[in-house]
């Protein structure tokens, strides 16, 4: 007895889905606003030197291509500026590190001959009398 309502429900569900599929297919076939496949724009992708992908469609005009090339040139110039700035900062960091090491050596030498005392907390003191 329970099989009959289940079969009817399955049949109705299948019928509703089939009708919806037919309606969507008919709409696609008879839609006047659709674009034929042969007239659809094709797109081309190319890797640019910076590692990105540039997509250009067949409908792209020469001025748009020129704008994209100009934009790419701007990005490449900006990347070179960033790399130069990074090299400058790295050189400044290396110089500062070298200078800190020189100061540390100087402090160690002054401490070893007794001119200064460096406490465990890093505080530097000068003895009242040389040799104290």
Ordered per-residue pLDDT tens for the chain, 132 residues: 688 888 898 989 999 999 999 999 888 888 877 666 555 555 555 555 555 555 555 566 888 889 999 999 999 999 999 999 999 999 999 999 999 999 999 999 998 998 888 888 988 888 876 554
pLDDT of amino acid 47: 56
pLDDT of amino acid 132: 47
Q: How many residues does the chain have?
A: 132
Taking the C-alpha atoms of residue 12 and residue 26, their distance in angstroms, rounded to an integer, is 21
Cα torsion angle, 91, 97, 99, 102, sign: negative
């Amino acid at each position: 007895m329970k099989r009959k309502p289940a079969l009817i429900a399955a049949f109705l569900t299948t019928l509703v889905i089939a009708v919806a599929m037919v309606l969507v297919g008919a709409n696609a076939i008879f839609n006047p606003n659709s674009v034929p496949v042969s007239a659809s724009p094709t797109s081309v992708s190319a890797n640019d030197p910076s590692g990105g992908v540039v997509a250009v469609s067949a409908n792209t005009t020469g001025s748009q291509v020129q704008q994209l090339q100009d934009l790419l040139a701007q990005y490449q110039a900006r990347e070179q500026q960033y790399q130069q700035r990074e090299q400058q900062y790295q050189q400044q960091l290396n110089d500062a590190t070298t200078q800190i090491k020189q100061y540390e050596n100087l402090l160690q030498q002054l401490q070893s001959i007794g001119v200064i005392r460096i406490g465990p907390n890093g505080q530097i003191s000068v003895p009242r009398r040389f040799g104290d």
